[in-house]
Amino acid sequence: MAKWADFVITAVRYDENQEHIIKVKRRLDNGETLEKEEERTRSQVVNAIENKGYTYVTSYKKNGEWYKGKNVSIIKVDGKKYLRTDSNKTTQDNLGELPEF
């Protein structure tokens, strides 16, 4: 497995309106395997991308194997930051069809 990013997001938890991510489950991508899963808050992920320069992608598991999803970026809409895998200017987080926890 080639290194996809610094971290891989494998699941999300949204608020009650399903608009904003509260937490994610992520794994360190060491280039050969994905490390142990850990939870991070939305603000921790935003900080890691903006201030520490870390890269994130989504990933899904199929038949026991991890597959690369899409790159995660921060999109600003009306001065607010959203975690997205696309460049749409909608006012909600969107990391695709990741499982929720």
The model's pLDDT over 56-89, given as tens digits with 9 standing for 90+, comes to: 999 999 999 999 999 999 999 999 999 999 999 9
Cβ atoms 87, 24 nearer than 8 A: no
Give the pLDDT of residue 35: 96
pTM of full prediction above 0.75: yes
Helices (H) then strands (E): counts for the chain: 1, 7
Q: Count the neighbouring beta carbons within 10 Å of the beta carbon of residue 12.
A: 21
The residue ranges of every structural domain in the chain are: 7-84
Residue 28: what are its φ and ψ, rounded to 5°? -70, 130
User: Residue 1's pLDDT band (boundaries 50, 70, 90)?
Assistant: confident
Q: Which residue has the tokens 């971290």?
A: 7
For the cut 90, the answer to whether the pLDDT of residue 13 exceeds it is yes
Residues in the chain: 101
Is 39:21 a contact under the CB 8 Å cutoff?
no
For 1-26, what is the mean pLDDT? 95
| Mean pLDDT taken over the chain | 96
